[in-house]
Amino acid sequence: MATAKTKILCFVCNKNKITYPCEGCSKHFCLMDLTEHRQNLNEELGHITNEYNELKQTINEQKQNPQNHSSIKQIDQLERNSIQQIQQKTQDYREIIIKSLPTCMNDIEMKCKDLNEQIKQFHETECNEIDLEYLRNELMKITQELNNPSNISIQQNPQLFINDISILLSKKPKFNKWKQNAITVAGGNGEGQQMNQLDHPSGVFIDKNKNIFIADRYNHRIVKWNYNTREEQIIAGRNGQGNRMNQLNQPTDMIVDQQGHSIIIADRGNRRVIQWMNQNQQILIDNIDCYGLAIDKHGFLYVSDWMKDEVTRWKMGEYNVGIVVAGENRQGNQLNRPTFIFVDEEQSVYVSDRNNHRVMKWRKDTKEGRIVAGGNGQGKNLNQLSDPAGVIVDDLGQIYVADYGNRRVMRWREGKEEGEVVVVGNGQEKHSNQVNRPTGLSFDDEGNLYVADWKSHRVQKFEIIS
């Protein structure tokens, strides 16, 4: 281990003695301290040998009885914990259902009362087969409601390691209505570029303070109309039409980031998506025939490409390559001039497929879209659209479409063959109950509906009444 050397300070006693180096730790020790150092090393070697023997014994035991492995014990503990959690959760859900059942039973009793009155009437008069079939259907509906209440939905999540269950107490869908005489909240003073005018407004966005942001397309600017003062402020593009960094060319849509004080703009005429932040500009995506924009809850940016007939998704801060999430020119999934888009909480993408006169929906990570509005050719029937523009979806999954060619706003429930008119165009004039070529749509937090009235150069607010 060591050989004698000339006098050097001992590492332990710090005295100038004949010392010996330890090859392992490269320190020098006098003879006495070297002896003690070697004893310590031998003791440590003994400890390691004992630990090795214990490890070897454990390995042999677990080979003979795998159930004693630590991983199995962890699983056992996980099982105990999961059982306790499930028992607690199911008990909580039992209490929720017990509390909700009286409301359900009251509804069923009311329906039974109505049905009983009808049965009495049929006893007093002559009934026929049609009457009996009606009574059977009503009785069946009430029985189904009793066994499967519509306000209670029990669901399982198969994605979890141990199935989690949840109970959804759903409210009856609210089919809102709006006053048909609208209030002009921006523009309305004829076509022009003055501060109280608009020139073919396109996209529209309402912030939490009810301020209105508008893509003022042929004025080549983004404007903000303050809710209280009705004053207009140019947010981006105050330098006229052009392709400089401080100019815009026919912007069609925008995303407003109120916290970051920035606006992302579909600068369609310049074929770019550009961000304005405190009058500083940055091109995010170049060489793209952009039209509509959307952003999801994870911060991904979505852009409809008017010429490539597709929608791409971009990670914020990384604009090298976009991922196609709708379109792709596949048979049955082709788009033809996609315009406005909407992305819901589940990252499903809704696209106004303008020249196909329909709205398409692509669920996240699927290659095939499906028709959720229109799709029966161009026309003005309730199952048709004509050059659809703005599209938004409410919390109930109801789809609202600016039916540009038919001068109306439609509401569609997914899976239904027909939509319903919620705002009627009523011609090409500029009265309060008319919209002439609606484009962008938006809701405020009270449910009031805002419509960009393209041909009348204004934004109309339709107040909610139910």
Q: Could you tell me if residue 357 is inside a domain?
A: yes
CATH number of the domain encompassing residue 411:
2.120.10.30
Same domain, 103 and 181: no
Count CA atoms within 13 Å of residue 342 on its CB side. 28
Tell me which residue of 456, 454, 444, 443 sits closest to 411, measured CA to CA: 443
pLDDT of the residue at 400: 96
Same domain, 294 and 377: yes
Beta bridge partners of 21: 28
Segment among 32-41, 130-139, 167-176, 282-291 with least mean pLDDT:
167-176
pLDDT confidence tier of residue 253, bands split at 50, 70 and 90: very high
Same domain, 364 and 233: yes
Segment among 52-61, 202-211, 421-430 with least mean pLDDT:
421-430
Angle at 436 between CA 435 and CA 440, to 5 degrees: 75
Tell me which residue of 311, 334, 248, 232 sits closest to 283, measured CA to CA: 248
pLDDT of the residue at 212: 93
Per-residue burial over 357-390, b = 16 or more CB atoms within 10 Å of its CB, e = otherwise: bbbbbbeeeeeebebbbbbeeeeeeeebbbbbbb
Residue 2 has pLDDT above 60, yes or no: no
Q: Could you tell me if residue 19 is inside a domain?
A: no
Q: How far apart are CA 359 and CA 305, in angstroms?
A: 15
Q: Could you tell me if residue 204 is inside a domain?
A: yes
Sheet architecture: strand order including 388-393:
388-393, 398-403, 408-413, 420-423
Count the domains in the chain: 2
Q: How far apart are CA 383 and CA 419, in angstroms?
A: 6
E runs forming strands in 199-288: 201-206, 212-216, 221-225, 232-236, 253-257, 262-267, 272-277, 280-286
Q: Could you tell me if residue 50 is inside a domain?
A: no
Same domain, 301 and 182: yes
Same domain, 242 and 132: no
pLDDT of the residue at 336: 93
Tell me which residue of 213, 215, 270, 263 sits closest to 241, measured CA to CA: 270
Residue 194 has pLDDT above 60, yes or no: yes
Residue 166 has pLDDT above 80, yes or no: no
Domain boundary among 119, 139, 169: 169
User: In the block, which residue shows the tokens 């405020």?
Assistant: 444
pLDDT confidence tier of residue 333, bands split at 50, 70 and 90: low
Tell me the average pLDDT of the chain: 85
Q: How far apart are CA 352 and CA 388, in angstroms?
A: 6
pLDDT in tens, 63-114: 788 777 777 777 788 788 878 888 887 787 788 778 777 777 877 887 787 7
User: In the block, which residue shows the tokens 């050989």?
Assistant: 3
pLDDT of the residue at 301: 95
DSSP 391-444: EEE-TT-EEEEEEGGGTEEEEEETT-S--EEEE---SSS--TT--SSEEEEEE-
Global pTM value: 0.64
Q: Could you tell me if residue 54 is inside a domain?
A: no
Q: How far apart are CA 222 and CA 252, in angstroms?
A: 9
pLDDT of the residue at 313: 95
Q: What is the extent of the structural domain holding 328?
A: 177-465
Q: How far apart are CA 462 and CA 233, in angstroms?
A: 23
Q: How far apart are CA 224 and CA 203, in angstroms?
A: 12
pLDDT in tens, 12-30: 899 888 888 888 888 888 9
Q: How far apart are CA 267 and CA 156, in angstroms?
A: 45
Same domain, 264 and 318: yes
User: In the block, which residue shows the tokens 């852009």?
Assistant: 303
Dihedral sign of CA atoms 62, 63, 64, 65 in order: positive
pLDDT of the residue at 149: 73
Q: How far apart are CA 61 and CA 336, in angstroms?
A: 69
For residue 125, CA distances in Å to 118, 131, 366, 382, 388 come to 11, 11, 57, 39, 52
Residue 291 has pLDDT above 60, yes or no: yes
8 A C-beta contact, residue 447 and residue 441:
no
For residue 70, CA distances in Å to 2, 52, 55, 297 come to 44, 18, 13, 40
* 83-84-90-94 Cα dihedral, nearest 10 degrees: 140
Same domain, 137 and 206: no
Segment among 8-17, 172-181, 273-282 with least mean pLDDT:
172-181
- Cα 241–chain centre separation: 34
Q: Could you tell me if residue 5 is inside a domain?
A: no
- Give the mean pLDDT of 34-44: 90
Q: Could you tell me if residue 275 is inside a domain?
A: yes
- Give the mean pLDDT of 385-404: 94
Q: How far apart are CA 106 and CA 102, in angstroms?
A: 6
Domain boundary among 112, 138, 169: 169
Q: Could you tell me if residue 11 is inside a domain?
A: no
Kindly report the backbone phi and psi dihedral angles of residue 148, in degrees, each rounded to the nearest multiple of 5, phi listed first: -135, 80
